[in-house]
């Protein structure tokens, strides 16, 4: 059901188009779910798909990126505040969400960078780090999983570890001999990587703003997206979700410690975004079903199986 209470589309017998389908998005920190794939989730929720967000850490070591929120009382209570922000974003998106209990590793800076803090998520053995996610997969039983590419989208240690545990859970959750005590085996059918911040999208938004006589904030992002050290992924799947961009933005603004409402995230008008790049984009990394590429639906090849 969408935020307006309306279920879009329909299936056989008047069922919602997404009835019976389940989607799981795996993220490193609270706010990641709202900056990567949020409009996609909102679209599928509106179609009746069950959506679960698994957040591996509490974001305890995150910076306060909104100057208006950078106050002593906020810094002193940041873990609780970030959980409250996550609850607000979850409700805006209409998804279910759970924290999987690990501690934020922080983003080490310096040359050379300092060692990661003892006990943090990124330093956990893979079997320890993946176990709560395997349990969540077996409980929620998703047909599709979303996560980061091997570089983490960007090389934050928690994002890289999130990639590793997501692949481990996708491959291990169906094996009854692995992760004993974590529930009945379940095999997700497709695993996607987010392709959220790529040059083609930034170029389209940049060009559209200039064409309207607006100042573009994307010059720096275009240069960064062209960095040969960034992992270039083929876009296999483009999900049209422009009508849900406003919900995405509301969810992102709910993370008030992380997002400046007057910052570059919101410099491009919504109607320009909807016209210039109306999709959120993905790379199909694993699939156990037949689906022709390119796709416009994360559940391509799955819907028919679920309805049988």
Signed CA dihedral, 157, 159, 165, 167: sign only = negative
Where does the pLDDT of residue 38 fall: very low under 50, low under 70, confident under 90, or very high at 90 and above?
very high
pLDDT score of 239 more than 90? yes
Question: What pLDDT digit, counting tens, does each position of 170-220 carry?
Answer: 999 999 999 999 999 999 999 999 999 999 999 999 999 999 999 999 988
Three-state DSSP at 52 gives strand
CB 255 within 8 A of CB 85: yes
pTM over cut 0.85:
yes
> In the structure, what pLDDT confidence band is assigned to residue 229 with cuts at 50, 70 and 90?
low
For residue 192, with 0-12 CB atoms within 10 Å meaning exposed, 13-18 middle and 19 or more buried, which class applies?
Answer: buried
Question: Which pLDDT score, from 0 to 100, does residue 249 have?
Answer: 97
Instruction: Say which residue the tokens 């599709």 belong to.
Output: 144
Q: What is the pLDDT of residue 3?
A: 33
Over the range 201-226, which residues count as b (16 or more CB within 10 Å of their CB) and which as e? bbbbbbebbeeeeeebbbeebeeebe
Measured CA distances, 262 to 82, 138, 158, 168, 246 (Å): 20, 41, 27, 39, 16
Domains and CATH numbers, the chain: 12-197+234-301 (3.40.50.10320)
Please tell me the predicted confidence (pLDDT) of residue 234: 95
**Nearest 5°: CA angle at 35, between 89 and 187?**
85
């Amino acid at each position: 059901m969408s935020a307006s209470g309306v279920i879009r589309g329909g299936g056989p017998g008047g069922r919602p188009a997404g009835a019976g389908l389940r989607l799981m998005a795996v993220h490193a920190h609270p706010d990641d779910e709202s900056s990567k794939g949020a409009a996609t989730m909102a679209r599928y929720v509106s179609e009746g798909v069950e959506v679960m967000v698994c957040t591996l850490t509490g974001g305890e070591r995150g910076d306060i990126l909104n100057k208006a929120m950078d106050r002593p009382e906020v810094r002193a209570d940041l873990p609780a505040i970030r959980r409250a922000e996550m609850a607000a974003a979850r409700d805006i998106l209409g998804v279910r969400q759970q924290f999987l209990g690990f501690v934020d590793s922080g983003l080490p800076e310096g040359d050379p960078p300092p060692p990661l803090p003892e006990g943090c998520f990124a330093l956990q053995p893979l079997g320890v780090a993946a176990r709560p996610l395997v349990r969540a997969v077996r409980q929620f039983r998703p047909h599709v999983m979303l996560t980061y590419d091997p570089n983490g989208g960007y090389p934050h240690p928690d994002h890289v570890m999130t990639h590793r545990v997501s692949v481990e859970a996708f491959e291990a959750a169906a094996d009854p001999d692995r992760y004993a005590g974590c529930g009945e085996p379940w095999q997700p059918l497709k695993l996607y990587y987010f392709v959220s911040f790529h040059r083609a999208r930034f170029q389209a938004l940049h060009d559209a703003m200039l064409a309207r006589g607006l100042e573009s904030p994307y010059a720096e992002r275009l240069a960064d997206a062209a960095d040969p050290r960034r992992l270039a992924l083929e876009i296999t799947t483009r999900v049209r979700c422009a009508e849900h961009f406003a919900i995405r933005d509301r969810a992102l603004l709910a993370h008030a410690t992380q997002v400046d409402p007057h910052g570059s995230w919101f410099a491009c008008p919504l109607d320009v975004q909807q016209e210039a790049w109306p999709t959120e984009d993905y790379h199909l990394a694993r699939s156990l079903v037949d689906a022709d590429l390119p796709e416009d639906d994360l559940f391509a090849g799955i819907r028919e199986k679920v309805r049988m």
